[in-house]
A and B are shown apart, each in its own frame.
Chain A
């Protein structure tokens, strides 16, 4: 056989393996409203940038007639490419090949591309669409999962790890996404659970659909397992690209700086926050009023909406925003919002992204359910994360900063680099009504007109303590600034924090209140 024939043979082999599980299986995939694994990779990567490896890998299972089965690429496509010029490692499970089930060699391909990502210090994108462990391969498939989880953990905080759930992801398989930084889900397509509806029904007698148990909405709104919710795969891919534009290649780099732009609606900032601390507003409007081009990329928009997190840019530089949201549950901290904030703070810290915190909260959420769910240890995560973070940390107190909430939200005491306050700020142990009722309980009770006395004492407390100047007089606040000055103060603070260098005590690792 001459060279030309050998080349022809290679092309034929490639073509046949690239078809995945064959026409019928692909038709089924399309009928479910899903793209194929290969189409997904192409849609995420820059045109013609995909280079595939291990196309010829075959499984070595012998039992259950598996020796007679040829599985294209063993059900997973792996390779490298670029996203807006950023190099990435990528893998996509192919549901058309034996349900994308994970066998030993399937796992080996994933592990190999993960090792590559870690060695090259570039982001890893994993597309999950799999029925789970390949039962015919037994413990070999379990070993495969274990090897993946181990590498997820090694790579955590070193390279960005992105999981895209575009089909089922059940049982042990869910732990790989859970160990990665970002989980993307698509409505009606993504399904994640440890035990499915059938098992739950047989054990507990409780009936539920896959969608209601672990669909995209459930993980975006109830569990917080997902970070980005999309209505279509196309929207999901656009979100992945946008996220990658904000983050660095690895933990030794800084995010790419782009051409700075002024905020689009900067002048609005004076009118967003109502003076009356009882009235709500959307804190995202404040964020948009200070970010470049008023662009704010929100993370976990639907889960624990009483706290807002996401990325924006100030002077072309990526900033992580953490903000209480008075529009939802008065912006309180609770179990979920504490977890949400703490994890994001740790992400920013690991990847050299400065953190800007907007504070307006009445405190922690009271409730038996909250206490019994462990709001103590969950709330402690916020303190831990802010205290531990050594990236530039800037706070702006917009209005209320009461009690434990004040301390937790990147206060001076947790080593914030800069704390600014608007003239509307109230830094106190609690709101004036509550404080007056406690401090002047006796005076109020014994007054001829208790209600009038209460009003008078509330007014007295408000005038004395419900302002930023008491805290400023002690140096806990660096400057009281007008809303319109906020962007300027942030720009300057970030600029002079570029070389921030703090040494923490040497340790193997801390013991955060997980």
Chain B
């Protein structure tokens, strides 16, 4: 095993001198989910946008169609709200994790 730097690891108010694992260093920090931002969970092509800015939307209402892996995925609204901004256009190719619609 390669030599690793010693870290101080605190558990139940006690400090332990130890080394980290690669996975521990690379672990994902938790980011709370923002329900007002509708992001792409997968890259794809926007087949259709079903709402317009300023429109009142309900929980479960389809907002747009994102085609990915040969499937037309309906992206549904997670909460009650109003469409503030639409960031994508019909026919646009988008990457993963892109904010497509912002609600207010």
Contact = CB atoms under 8 A, between A and B. Distances in A.
A286 interface: no
A504 interface: no
Given A329-B18, A362-B16, A431 B11 contact: yes
A86 B21 CA distance: 38
B81 interface: no
Contacts of B95: 205
Nearest to A458: B13
B14 interface: yes
B23 interface: yes
A301 B1 contact: yes
A221 B18 contact: no
Contact of A362 (B14, B20, B24, B69): B14
A222 B20 contact: no
B43 A203 contact: yes
B23 to A, nearest CB: 6
B22 interface: yes
Nearest to A302: B1
Contact of A204 (B6, B13, B23, B43): B43
A433 B18 contact: no
Interface in B8-46: 9, 11-24, 27-28, 30, 42-43
A331 B11 CA distance: 11
B55 interface: no
Interface residues of A, number: 38
A11 B33 CA distance: 70
A502 interface: no
B68 interface: yes
B21 A363 contact: no
Nearest to A435: B12
Interface string B37-81: 000001100000000000000000000000011000000000000
Interface in A366-423: 366-369, 372, 402
B87 interface: no
Contacts of A301: 1
25 contacts: A203-B43, A203-B69, A204-B96, A222-B22, A278-B14, A278-B15, A278-B17, A279-B17, A280-B6, A280-B19, A301-B1, A305-B1, A306-B21, A328-B20, A330-B16, A362-B12, A362-B16, A363-B11, A363-B12, A369-B28, A369-B30, A431-B12, A431-B13, A431-B14, A435-B12
Given A278-B14, A280-B6, A304-B21, 19 more contacts: A203-B69, A205-B96, A222-B23, A280-B17, A302-B1, A327-B19, A328-B18, A329-B24, A330-B9, A330-B16, A330-B18, A332-B11, A362-B16, A363-B12, A367-B27, A372-B30, A433-B12, A434-B11, A434-B12
